[in-house]
Structures are given as structure tokens and as C-alpha cells.
Structure 1
Amino acid sequence: MTAWDGVMPFYPQSRHAAGFSVPLLIVIVVFLCLAASFLFILPGIRGHSRWFWLVRVFLSLFIGAEIVAVHFSGDWFVGAVWTNTSYKAFSTARVQVHVGLHVGLVGVNITLKGTPVQQLNETIDYNERFTWRLDEDYTKEYVDALEKGLPDPVLYLAEKFTPSSPCGLYHQYHLAGHYAAATLWVAFCFWIIANALLSMPAPLYGGLALLTTSAFTLFAVFAFASVSSVPLCPFRLGSATLTPHYGASFWVTLATGILSLLLGAVVVILHYTKPSALRTFLDQSDKDCRGQAKGNSPLIFDNPQRKQFATPDLNITTVL
């Protein structure tokens, strides 16, 4: 029982905090393990290449981790307020609480915590999640919340996002989250391709893959930002009004898209202006990238006989 914090192991476990997610924690741990593994390898890299590799790997891991992590974050659209509001239906009792609204790509999370927590002979500490994934029914989850008799502030905010609500928030947030999540997964795929191409003598295509990663990441941000076209219903909770705004996940994703855009543009520009500096940063030899820098296949320069075949006045009998 101690291991389960006083909750019977065969019953539903207590909910985690709104900003905490087990998949999000797994993503962070995986990328931290990759970064730690590289730090163990780093001393084996000689010269200035060590620092070039450090910058490359950590920038790449940051972009990849952010693209995946924001799928499981609920901080795309957030709001919080301290208020004095009613607690239960058909009751005049009022409580001092902190109400939080956290909207993610796949649902909304509503928190309610009393200040103090113990009021009206109850522990006021709720964290309820309502999802709108393609295989889940938001309306059914809301009906289940009604049957459980959740507090009024939680039901009030959850009702604003139901499909039948006159606010019209459900369809806009559902579609915006769906398209944002889909384009972010495409951006993650191009991030993998960019890393593979930048590890080979093909920096130009790696830079173009980074630009494509940036394009899909920024499109995800713009897709979610389309919710601003819907007039937001006022969230009045007792004596206060909850005013949501774009959260950390939205701004970090926007920054990641801009970072990918700048990195991709730098790689493409250096490829045409200073290819030697680009090869130095990517730790590639001149032999690997000479052919691509001149627009030819490197194989033509690797084999002297093939180079002779390319000469117009070559005596084929002499070569054979």
C-alpha cells in the first residue's frame, strides 16, 4: 500500500498533475539518454571537431525531442484564475479555489484545487482530463463526469468544449489539434532524414530536409493558431473570469520551427558560398564532398582511370 500511496493497486490510480504525462516523461528520458551516450563518446573525438559535434548533436536532439514531446503536452492553450465560486450544484456553499485550464492537441485538462485544500469537510483537489482523439468520445466522457458529480467549475469548463456547446470550441480545437499533430509527425520524419543526410556527403539535401522540417513545424503552429478565429466564450467562474492564452508548448514549437529554418538556410547558403567551412563544421573530408560541391559525382574523381575516360583526347588502347 505504501508503494501505491494509499490507493488499492487493483483500482484506478490517482491522477497526475496537469503538466505531467507519462509519455512525455518517456520522451524526455529517451532523448536525455541519447545525449548522455554522446557525452561518453565525446572525449574520443579529437581536435576542434569535438565542439562541432557537440553543437550539432545537441541542437539536433533538442529539435527532435521538442517535436515529439509537444504531442503529449497540455500547455498549448492555458489559463488559470483564483476565485470564490460555488462548489456543488443545488448548493449555496462557496469555496476559495484555484482553477486551471490546459488545452493540448488531443484534449483538455481541468484542475481545481482549494485554498486551503480542506474545505466543506472535503479535499478539493481535482485533475480531470477530457480527450477528443479520433477513437474517443468527448461527449461520453463529459456525461461520465456528470454522473460522478464533479464540482461545478470543472463541469462548467468541460461543457464549454462539448460538441453541442454554443461556443463552438470543440470542432475548432479538435481539427486544429488533429492537423497540428499530423504535421508534427511529418516534421519528425524529415528531421530523421536530415540527420541521415548531414552525416553523409550530401549537406545540401540535409539542409533542404531541415527546411522541410521547419515548414511542417511552422504549419503545425499556424494550424493550432487558427483557433483564434473563433470568438472565445467568457469563462466566468464566480467572482473572476478565466482568460486563456497560448502556452509554453505553442511558443517552444514556434521557436523550434524558426531554429530549424535558420539552420537549414545556413547549411544551404554555406554549401554555395563557403563549402570548405561547411565541410569543416560537418567534419567531412574534402575527398567526400569535392564532387558534390562541383555538381559531379565523387566517383569520377576517386578512380584515376575513370578520370582518363572522361578526357576527350584519351587513347583507349593505352588505358586498357
Structure 2
Amino acid sequence: MTLWNGVLPFYPQPRHAAYFSVPLLIVILVFLALAASFLLVLPGIRGHSRWFWLVRVLLSLFIGAEIVAVHFSAEWSVGRVSTNTSYKAFSAARIRAHVGLLVGLEGINITLKGTPVQQLNETIDYNEQFSWRLGEDYAEEYEDALEKGLPDPVLYLAEKFTPSSPCGLYRQYRLAGRYASATLWVAFCFWLLSNALLSMPVPLYGGLALLITGSFALFAIFAFATISNVPLCAFRLGSSALTTHYGAAFWVTLATGILCLLLGGAVVSLHYARPSALRTFLDRSVKDHSSQAKEGSPLVLSNPLHTQPGAQGLRITTDL
């Protein structure tokens, strides 16, 4: 290894942490724009239908945004610890820092922030991402990190997830991410289908599509939990141990799956128990009445001028 200005290979410039994922921000902004567009046209809806549409659209946008956003979130499994640990290779210098590990569906994110940030005449504030998504080589990214001379805590955690590591974390979490991602995209497709069906006079099938959406969201949760919930290697960082637990993305996806099941079950139940209430909520009562008038109800012909005793006359009833 070569020296750089008398110092072991290291970043010539300090790396500052990026606290938000750009793709995640784009997804949130897109769905917020859709919600804002709907709120602009909401005053044009008359009567109580305005509030029914408000609840329907905002709930639907929340479900769709959550299903897409969690793909880009790194908080499916998280762990954080404050420790006193070594900083550089071949150096006895130690630092006090917060170390964070975030595992997502497509890779891991490792953060290192000194407490205080300025230590050893350097700014200790790092955020490094290692990906195993399709087309990315995790082992190659780890080798690049070694060449850059990243801090010891970052390299230590990243090495635990390499394909050659005896811990086997790479295979566990990569498979968990692949299965969870696939089932979530299927859930997103059924979410689109449910919106289309609930906008048509077939609310039963819209409710069934919502049930399937919730089922696939829960399948993603079960896939991530069962594949990754195996004995893991211990993460020892200096004087402390880092332990992981399910993060915000995991629990929000679980809540969304349960919400879809409840909404789908409510639509199916109302379809059989109280169809009029369901039509009112979906704002289809007036439309259904007008469509029935166009189709025509059973016509009963009557001629009051030729009615004979004992004979039942035929009446003409029309809806005008």
C-alpha cells in the first residue's frame, strides 16, 4: 500500500453522509403531486360525495406510494450502536462514534459519524452503500472500498455481507430482498387493477383485487422475515455489539397489507350485506339509477279502456 502525504491510503476529502435516498424522494414527490392535483379539483365535487372521494383517493394513493417507496428504502432491517472503536488500518488511534447498519431489499447502507464529528484532525461523517441488485457486483464494490481505504468499522460490516464471508448474510438477505421485491411489484399491479375495478360498476371484483394486494404485501413481509430470521454472525465494534431489528419499512409494509385486507374485506362484505351503502360510498347510486332507467325495468302493459272484470290489467311503468 502506498502513502498519501505521509498518511495511509484514505479519502483526501471527507465524505459526508447522504441522509435521504434520491429514488425514494422522487417516488414521494410523484405521489404528493398526484394528491395535490386531486385536492385542487376536490371543491368541484358537490355534496357528501366530496368526502367519500377524499377518503378513497388519499387511501389509495397512500397504499400505492408505500408499495413503491419501500423498494428504495434501506430500513427493512436496522441496527445502531455507539462505540469506541479503531479508525484506520495499521493505526492504534481510536474514535468515539455512532455506527449504523441499514439493510434494504437491494443492498446495505453503513454510516459512521464521530461524536464529536471532528476527531484526529478529520471530519468523521461517512455513508457508504453496497448493492446486490441485478447488474451490481457486491464483491467488486467491497474491493473498491478496500482500495479507497474506508474506515475500519465500515469495512468490517461490509465484509460480513460479502459472498465469501462464512456468515452467509449475503445469500440470506439477497434472497429475502429478491422475493420481497417481486411480491411487492405484484401487489402494485393488483393495486392498479383494484382502482380500475372500483371505478366501474363491479365493486366486488375491486374488493377482491384489494384482498390480493394485501395478501402479496404480507407475502413480502413473510418472505423477508423467514429468510433473514436465521442465526446471524455477531457484529463486534470495539467495546460494543451491534444488533439488528426490523425497521420502519418492514412495519409500514405490514400495516399496509393489513389495511388492504380490511378494505377489501369491507367492500366484499358490503357488496353482499348492504349493496346500497356500498354504491353510496363509491358514488355510484345516481349513476346506477340512471343506467337502470336506460336499460328499462320490466314493463307491465295496461289498457284501462279494455279491462274486463276478473282480468288483471297490464300497466306500463316507465322511469322518466
TM range (shorter): 0.7 to 0.9
Q: Take 2:288 and 2:167, find their aligned partners in 1: how far apart are those partners?
A: 60
Q: TM-score, normalised by structure 1?
A: 0.86
Structure 1 portions without partners, runs of 5+: 1-11, 291-297, 309-320
Instruction: Give 1:5's aligned residue.
Output: none
**In 2 relative to 1, CA 209–289 (structure 1 residues): closer, same or farther, beyond 3 Å?**
farther
Instruction: Give 1:318's aligned residue.
Output: none
Does structure 1 conserve the Cα–Cα contact (< 8 Å) formed by 2:80 and 2:100? yes
TM-superposition CA deviations, 1:266-316 (whole Å, max 9, x none) = 0000000000000000000266389xxxxxxx78x7434x957xxxxxxxx
Instruction: Give 1:34's aligned residue.
Output: 34
Q: How does 1:215-294 map to 2 (within 5 A)?
A: 215-285=215-285, 288=288
The 3-state SS of whatever aligns with 2:191 is helix
Q: Take 1:267 and 1:289, find their aligned partners in 2: how far apart are those partners?
A: 20
Instruction: Give 2:7's aligned residue.
Output: none
The 3-state SS of whatever aligns with 1:145 is helix
> How many residues get paired?
287
The 3-state SS of whatever aligns with 1:196 is helix
Q: C-alpha displacement at 1:232, in angstroms? A: 1.4
Structure 2 portions without partners, runs of 5+: 1-12, 300-320
Instruction: Give 2:126's aligned residue.
Output: 126
Does structure 2 conserve the Cα–Cα contact (< 8 Å) formed by 1:169 and 1:230? no
Does structure 2 conserve the Cα–Cα contact (< 8 Å) formed by 1:279 and 1:289? no
Instruction: Give 1:182's aligned residue.
Output: 182
Instruction: Give 1:303's aligned residue.
Output: 295
Q: C-alpha displacement at 1:119, in angstroms? A: 1.0
Q: Take 1:21 and 1:132, find their aligned partners in 2: how far apart are those partners?
A: 16
Instruction: Give 1:17's aligned residue.
Output: 18
Instruction: Give 1:314's aligned residue.
Output: none
Q: How does 1:164-203 map to 2 (within 5 A)?
A: 164-203=164-203
**In 2 relative to 1, CA 276–303 (structure 1 residues): closer, same or farther, beyond 3 Å?**
closer
Instruction: Give 1:90's aligned residue.
Output: 90
Does structure 1 conserve the Cα–Cα contact (< 8 Å) formed by 2:17 and 2:111? no
**In 2 relative to 1, CA 249–34 (structure 1 residues): closer, same or farther, beyond 3 Å?**
same
Does structure 1 conserve the Cα–Cα contact (< 8 Å) formed by 2:191 and 2:213? yes
Instruction: Give 1:146's aligned residue.
Output: 146
Does structure 2 conserve the Cα–Cα contact (< 8 Å) formed by 1:109 and 1:129? yes
Does structure 1 conserve the Cα–Cα contact (< 8 Å) formed by 2:15 and 2:125? no
Q: Take 2:14 and 2:180, find their aligned partners in 1: how far apart are those partners?
A: 30
Q: Take 2:229 and 2:76, find their aligned partners in 1: how far apart are those partners?
A: 16
Q: Take 1:40 and 1:87, find their aligned partners in 2: how far apart are those partners?
A: 53
Q: Take 2:80 and 2:37, find their aligned partners in 1: how far apart are those partners?
A: 39
Instruction: Give me the identity figure in percent.
Output: 76
Q: Take 1:199 and 1:113, find their aligned partners in 2: how far apart are those partners?
A: 50
Q: TM-score, normalised by structure 2?
A: 0.86
Q: C-alpha displacement at 1:117, in angstroms? A: 1.1
Does structure 1 conserve the Cα–Cα contact (< 8 Å) formed by 2:130 and 2:142? yes
Q: Runs of at least 4 residues of structure 1 off by over 6 A? A: 12-15
RMSD: 2.0
Aligned-partner residue type, residue 68 of structure 1: V
Q: How does 1:74-85 map to 2 (within 5 A)?
A: 74-85=74-85
Q: Take 1:14 and 1:119, find their aligned partners in 2: how far apart are those partners?
A: 14
Q: Take 1:270 and 1:30, find their aligned partners in 2: how far apart are those partners?
A: 32
Aligned-partner residue type, residue 66 of structure 2: E
Aligned-partner residue type, residue 226 of structure 1: T
Instruction: Give 1:9's aligned residue.
Output: none
Instruction: Give 1:315's aligned residue.
Output: none
Q: Take 1:222 and 1:138, find their aligned partners in 2: how far apart are those partners?
A: 25
Does structure 1 conserve the Cα–Cα contact (< 8 Å) formed by 2:101 and 2:111? yes
